Structure 1
């Protein structure tokens, strides 16, 4: 006999005889009333047991979390709250649940506690609702693009390029990152804790290599080998001040001066000196190394950062001999992707309109409510679309998927709406949201998105009361500032009171592939970029018209120190049949966060991956 879903039983047009239902016990009252849920709906169905004719030992096994198979008749409910209940004829306990050990008891748990039990939290009403909404939104995304004639493209997860140019990527290698000689020199008390240190070093190494360029590193390696056949980066990876003697027998003072004065070395120093990213990562790494070492009682001392880089400090930036990269699995440096955009562009230039929907990875050490190390991205790319058409597409797309979820997840969204309302009541009046969850969703559907240039937005923010009264954490002082979440939310929630699309951003704060505006003055160069801002969340979509002109793109790549050889295939799309094209990226978890009204992005993905957390 095939079992019927709880959702279908509760929606039945009439009572039914001899139904079979399977699910998990939420509550069991008075040795008689089982609240059963099978995940098909947020609602439970009440199953009434004939407790007088059921052995006491069997009744004791009906506990929260236990899996049951129940046969009976679907009859009109005798109590309030639901249309039907099941009059139980027989039941079988498929799986026991020890009430002393099962953590998901029928009470309110903190979100922190539920994150620690992510494998079981979906059995709660809130997370069951969130994950059903997430599933419907995911389907709606595919449905929208398929209806519009887009081709779904699976872009690589392992890549040799960095689409964002941020350098915050997870390195993929089959080579050992750390070597025995380095272990001996650091004098760790516990080698089992090296993995904590490894992530910090790898983050720094990746950033450094992206800034200086792999070609320069290879050139330096060749230069060093000219002076000593025995020199090995793994030997001098990390050195304490009292270990500098290790190098003296290999290099004379004159040789060291010659190395430090070489053109290759000077270019590396110049790039590092002019890189804000390098300084930020260096300072962040310094703090974290000290913290990790203190936690583990490690005897580790770093030389202070020199004004000009030297051979010994340079050695710290390398995880292994550069020549060994040819022995790696792919024969080159590879990383987990931060975006499928570049690859999707190549397909758009043949198929017209494509989209990707897959996992992406950022090695940002950000423990915030808006960041994940692993998340899902939706990235459409459309040939012959300019920025205006791109904004039209993004607005229509977002409204479609939100309406799709509202039409199909009414019970779940009603529950999440009430949950958010209860949470808001606990906050001070000044901090409460002006709109409930369902109001906020309807607000996005009913309002056209306001389109505002970055320049206009900066003027509004500079003259705003929070900025003048220094209420913003980041005060807006001049054109060119990178907008923070507080600025974005002010524009949406306080000033315009509708969703906002900002466009034409300063070139210096946006990626290399965005089309440069020709009519802007040199000191205010802008690109055809756009961000969509939502109430309560800030940026939810980022996109641009792509730079289709080969010469301009090559110049931008050169200015940023990106190795053109690594992007030869991307540049080919500008050599052969180039055309105006545009696209955008939507962080799927940001969308789910908005639609469900949750406050932390870790609560809208089944198993969140964050710094120091890869459980489950």
Structure 2
């Protein structure tokens, strides 16, 4: 198949393609037409911005193309023409539009803004929306930036088990994995489940942390990290809890707390700067439609020196703040979200390391 030009290439290397014949493939975001010509907005997934296509009645399949629905897949061949007076910087004047797959009129993603609750009902289609396209491209860049950061510091990436018999430091409730028949579990003489009959011959679970598995590698490679899926069977139903998430766990030999904090701060700043530099369109979308002021806050974090405070100092600050918290403050209690937010947003106005927690 002839190589297709991507929408990203057209936006990043426009001068190279202007007034030349190009061939692009993508999915119809919107379409409107008249008797003599029509306009199509195309997305190929390579770039956040979309591409406008102008097609005319000179095409043999003009009528068929005019009747296409949102979501249809097409391959367009035509001339890339600059449009400096229009909203978009250029458009393709189509010579041909090949229909690779036509969608039906009841295609659920139309040219309007859909709620997240609605999109949750169609996980197979929601990556095509602006919101989810931006989310997953940024997530991809974050994952790459994490690896890039550690590789530049000569860390070794270690894959730790997803299925494990260990509960790393009692980190949380675990999802159990078993091949035993649930309707007829084998039992021991004392009435307990006989896991010797299970696949691994013992009770196994989904990992809550790769830390225990990666620590021995630090005794060989010195600086290592694991980055992968983690599972917690905690039915908390809050924005701060998830049953499945990806966790970064570095381990360093011959390092102290200061070294740990330096790596954490440097990593966060590195990731923020990488995403702001490599996904400006997606971040501008988030800043405008999802979380106003996001970019300013991220730049503030990336440009700030993180604060440092001991647990005892933090408690004193909270006690002397004069603020009434939902969770009362006293020495020995865990810091709650409201306490952490007060320290970061009101006192330090930047991220803060809290050290020297009491052992018990």
Asked if these proteins are the same fold (TM beyond 0.5), I'd say yes
The equivalent of 1:499 in structure 2 is 351
- Structure 2 distance, partners of 1:53, 1:388, is 68
Contact 1:164-1:338 within 8 A present in 2 as well = no
Where do 5+ consecutive residues of structure 1 fail to align?
182-217, 226-231, 234-320, 425-435, 509-616
- Structure 2 distance, partners of 1:38, 1:128, is 11
The equivalent of 1:475 in structure 2 is 328
Matched, 1:450 2:307: yes
Shift of 1:59: 3.0
1:160/1:480 CA distance change after superposition, 3 Å: same
Shift of 1:108: 1.0
- Tell me the number of residue pairs that the alignment of Structure 1 and Structure 2 aligns: 354
The equivalent of 1:33 in structure 2 is 39
- CA deviation map 1:121-164 (0-9, x unaligned): 11111211111111111111111111111111101111111114
Where do 5+ consecutive residues of structure 2 fail to align?
none
- CA deviation map 1:392-432 (0-9, x unaligned): 111111111111111111111111111135xx6xxxxxxxx
Shift of 1:166: 4.3
Greater helix content: 1
TM-score under structure 1 length normalisation: 0.55
1:164/1:81 CA distance change after superposition, 3 Å: farther
1:138/1:166 CA distance change after superposition, 3 Å: closer
The equivalent of 2:228 in structure 1 is 358
SS of equivalent to 2:166: coil
- Structure 1 distance, partners of 2:103, 2:42, is 14
Matched, 1:64 2:70: yes
Shift of 1:178: 4.3
The equivalent of 2:168 in structure 1 is 163
SS of equivalent to 2:246: strand
- CA deviation map 1:3-35 (0-9, x unaligned): 000111123224142211000111112341111
- Structure 2 distance, partners of 1:473, 1:122, is 39
Contact 1:21-1:69 within 8 A present in 2 as well = yes
1:342/1:166 CA distance change after superposition, 3 Å: closer
Q: Match for 2:341 among 483, 489, 501?
A: 489
Contact 2:56-2:62 within 8 A present in 1 as well = no
- Structure 1 distance, partners of 2:110, 2:332, is 52
1:192-231 matches, cutoff 5 A: none
- After TM superposition, where is structure 1 displaced by more than 4 Å over at least 4 residues in a row? 52-57
Matched, 1:44 2:46: no
- Structure 2 distance, partners of 1:55, 1:405, is 42
The equivalent of 1:441 in structure 2 is 298
Higher relative contact order (CA closer than 8 Å, sequence separation 6+):
1
The equivalent of 1:525 in structure 2 is none
SS of equivalent to 1:330: coil
1:415/1:180 CA distance change after superposition, 3 Å: closer
- Structure 2 distance, partners of 1:5, 1:152, is 32
The equivalent of 1:3 in structure 2 is 4
Greater strand content: 2
1:177/1:167 CA distance change after superposition, 3 Å: farther
Matched, 1:120 2:122: no
Matched, 1:147 2:152: yes
- CA deviation map 1:209-236 (0-9, x unaligned): xxxxxxxxx9xx8xxx6xxxxxx63xxx
- Structure 1 distance, partners of 2:121, 2:85, is 37
Shift of 1:57: 4.3
The equivalent of 1:524 in structure 2 is none
- Structure 2 distance, partners of 1:412, 1:461, is 37
SS of equivalent to 1:406: helix
TM-score under structure 2 length normalisation: 0.93
- CA deviation map 1:174-231 (0-9, x unaligned): 11344399xxxxxxxxxxxxxxxxxxxxxxxxxxxxxxxxxxxx9xx8xxx6xxxxxx
SS of equivalent to 1:376: strand
Matched, 1:17 2:20: yes
